[in-house]
Amino acid sequence: MEIRVQSIKFNADQKLLDFVEKKLSKLPKFYDGITDVEVTMSLLADHENKNVKVHVRIPGNDIVIERNARRFEDALVDCVDILKDKLVRAKEKKAI
């Protein structure tokens, strides 16, 4: 599984990139057919809110989750929690 991270309107530090890698590396436990994951992080206009969009590519369809929070880490954790549920459902649907 390839993980690509894009930061818009700011430069992501290594600590944030490591956090993203750590959280997303757990996703194959829920669905082993993930081909790649694209994460886009951006600052919103008010500069207090951060936006994280996670695009997971799996055979047959893609899953896209987007969340806003005061910190990138919080938005990413929200995205990963939702992705876990969606990946489990996709795996169950595939097994039928």
> What digits encode the pLDDT tens for the residues 30-39?
999 999 999 9
Q: Express each pLDDT in 70-90 by its tens digit.
A: 999 999 999 999 999 999 999
Domain ranges in the chain are: 2-95
Q: What pLDDT is stored for residue 51 in this prediction?
A: 96
Residue 47's pLDDT band (boundaries 50, 70, 90)? low
Q: What's the average model confidence in pLDDT over 37-65? A: 92
What topology does CATH give the domain 2-95?
Double Stranded RNA Binding Domain (3.30.160)
Q: What is the pLDDT of residue 63?
A: 96
Name the residue among 28, 33, 44, 32 with its Cα closest to residue 80. 28
**Pick from 94, 34, 84, 93: nearest CA to 62:** 34
Residue 70 near residue 49, CB atoms below 8 Å: yes
Q: State how far the Cα of 25 lies from the Cα of 30, in Å rounded to an integer.
A: 11
52 falls in which pLDDT band (50, 70, 90)?
very high
Residue for token digits 């082993």? Answer: 32
d(CA 21, CA 10): 18
